[in-house]
Amino acid sequence: MHSIFRPPINWRHRRFRYRLVVWRCLNCGAVHHNATKICRRCRSNRLAEDQLPSRARLLTYTVVKNPPVAFERQAPYIVGVVEFEDGTRLLTGITDCEPEELKPGMELERVVRRLTEDGESGLIVYGYRFRPVLKKR
Amino acid sequence: MLKGLHVDGHASLSTSVDVQFNTFIGAVATGCELPGISGVSIHGYGAYIPIFRIKASEIARVWGLSDSELPVLEKAVNSLDEDTVTIAAEAAGYALARAGIDPGRIGAVYVGSESHPYAVKPTGTIVADVLGVNSRLLSADLEFACKAGTEAMQLVTGLVASRMIDYGLAIGADTAQGRPRDALEYTAAAGGVAVVIGRSGDGAIADFEFASSYVSDTPDFWRRSHERYPMHGSRFTGAPAYFHHIISAVKMVQDEGYSLGDFDYFVFHQPNTKFPYAVAKMLGVPAKKVESGVVCNVIGNTYAASSMMGLAKVLDQAKPGERILMASYGSGAGSDVFVFRVKEGVLEKRGLAPLVSELIERRKYIDYSLYLKARGKIRE
């Protein structure tokens, strides 16, 4: 079984998956998506909860045509790397668009989508994806 | 955040319950009337429509049927990564953006739908966590066919009016099911609408002036447990079901002292393009007072969101001081009716989230094969 289908792991990571709630090191600025007491980069114990912004810039992307287990039905789908204002980079699924609509540097916004499910009887996993901005500021 | 309801002592609680019980029994004997609502307003509203559309003519083509007199032009289709949870969360996010309040002040999240992703595990708690709403919260999933969303509005208005909560979210969202080749396949669509309801005051978008409901045991449409698709009574869904319940609900508004001339907009549940205009004609309402809220022709029937989508579209264009009558319809059957008075807040808030017209314009057409994939109908 994919670990994300196990209830404790699904539950523990939900705030990061739903709202990009992270733990930021107040010493070196490193961002951790799991709750942690020690910064994995500088070993500082000065960490605080933070939330990444809802918008980011697209750095690069690719199209997945040979998907891993649990994502077979969604192929082909787009996976990309986005960068937030503070320089934090995130690997993410990109939705609601075709690859030819994407250009590096364009602004994307976070949405919560149904990522995968453990068959017809197991847990459904929800989490972030990014899409072209629906309403410009 | 949810506030406690204080009761002075056991004796007073018993007396209160007895009084309420006797009142209820008496009300049943004489015809139950829900009380009018005062001091409660819509502070935010948000709609969400998935990006995919399929034309009704494409569905007709696949089944070799005539494409004349189709019930809608096209309908909205959720993608593989969308369901009632994601649609409800997106609509609610827009409603909170318009309301301009911290999610922590929300004291109730009710989600009405007939396509909750889980049979047992609430949609509302997932939506609340996605939005960052405080866990001191009332939450439940509601089901009453296409009026489950307005049922959520009834509950939240009651909680706000009784001051148990400051603000509550009422959401109607669906990814409706239609059996392949059934008449419902042309119209069963996906979409969601949320409203933030709170005490009247500065920034209100619309005040509730009246709310009530009319229900009866009418078997026009149903889905049994473990069944993938609903069944319906074809023409029986018309006169004894949709038309009787909506007309009866509107009559309750007239009994309250309103005349139909008092309203600038009428929003009716829209299972197809024909029905809202037909019920308007029966009531003697001009078609131009209905058309502002009709969206079914271009996005289909979004079920629990259907009448709320019409309300959102009307709020996108209404002027302060105008009055709206909304009557939903849910099979099984019932109609919730509301009277709203539009307030100044609508002018500054409507631009804070996408308009319904913008969501309608944002679309990508898919053919029937991609529709089957998007709806998860391709199985190994």
From CA B152, how far away is CA A28, in angstroms rounded? 47
Asked if B40-204+363-374 and B206-348 have one fold, the answer is yes
- What CA–CA distances, in Å, run from B376 to B43, B216, B324, B370? 36, 34, 38, 10
Catalytic residue selected from B74, B82, B146, B209: B146
Strands B106-112 and B138-142: parallel
Q: Are A137 and B355 in contact (CB under 8 A)?
A: no
Q: Are B214 and B338 in contact (CB under 8 A)?
A: no
Q: Is A124 in Cβ contact with B81 (below 8 Å)?
A: no
From CA B35, how far away is CA A123, in angstroms rounded? 42
* pLDDT at position A93 over 80: yes
Residue extents of the structural domains in chain B: 40-204+363-374, 206-348
At residue B153, the 3 state secondary structure works out as helix
Q: Which residues of B touch A93 (CB under 8 A)?
A: 81
Å between A97 CA and nearest CA of chain B: 9
B274-283 and B244-255 are packed helices; what angle lies between their axes, rounded to 10 degrees?
Answer: 40
From CA B30, how far away is CA B14, in angstroms rounded? 24
How many residues in total does chain A contain?
137
Q: Are B76 and B52 in contact (CB under 8 A)?
A: yes
* pLDDT at position A1 over 70: no
When pLDDT is cut at 50, 70 and 90, the band that residue A136 belongs to is confident
- Ordered strands of the B190-199 beta sheet: B138-142, B106-112, B167-175, B190-199, B40-48, B206-218, B332-342, B323-327, B265-268
List, for residues B295-346, the tens digit of each pLDDT value: 999 999 999 999 999 999 999 999 999 999 999 999 999 999 999 999 999 9
Class of CATH domain B40-204+363-374:
alpha beta
- Quote the pLDDT of residue B1: 60
The whole-model pTM stands at 0.93
Q: Which residues of A touch B82 (CB under 8 A)?
A: 113-114
What is the H or E stretch that residue A93 is in?
strand A89-94
Å between A37 CA and nearest CA of chain B: 23
Helical spans, DSSP H, in B176-291: 244-255, 274-283
CA B243 to chain CA centroid, Å, is: 18
Domain spanning B206-348: CATH 3.40.47.10: yes
* Residues of chain B with confidence (pLDDT) below 50: 7-32
Q: Which residues of A touch B378 (CB under 8 A)?
A: 73
Q: Rounded to a whole number, what is the largest CA-CA distance in chain B?
A: 70
